[in-house]
């Protein structure tokens, strides 16, 4: 799959194209939510999730 950017507050409902209102999503999540707000779609705000880290260094298979 490819990554899409998505407006947390939809552009059609006044959401701006700013870093504070953008997240990376998969296409099914992005297009499936459409013009619904997170509350209308019964979704949690992904910006509130804790950041998790791993030892994964990318697709080259190298680990620290």
Burial class (CB in 10 A: 0-12, 13-18, 19+), 6: buried
* Cα distance between residue 8 and residue 29, in whole Å: 12
* Cα distance between residue 61 and residue 32, in whole Å: 32
Per-residue pLDDT tens for 29-63? 889 998 999 999 998 998 898 988 888 777 776 55
Under 8 Å between Cβ of 7 and 15? yes
Report in angstroms the alpha-carbon separations of 19 from 28, 36, 42, 54: 21, 19, 22, 24
> How much is the average pLDDT of 8-25?
94
Q: pTM for this one?
A: 0.70
């Amino acid at each position: 799959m490819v990554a899409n950017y998505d407006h947390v507050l939809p552009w059609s409902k006044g959401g701006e194209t700013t870093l504070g209102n953008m997240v990376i999503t998969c296409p099914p999540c992005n297009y499936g939510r459409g013009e619904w707000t997170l509350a209308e779609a019964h979704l949690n705000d992904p910006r509130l999730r804790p950041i998790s880290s791993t030892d994964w260094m990318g697709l080259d298979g190298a680990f620290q």
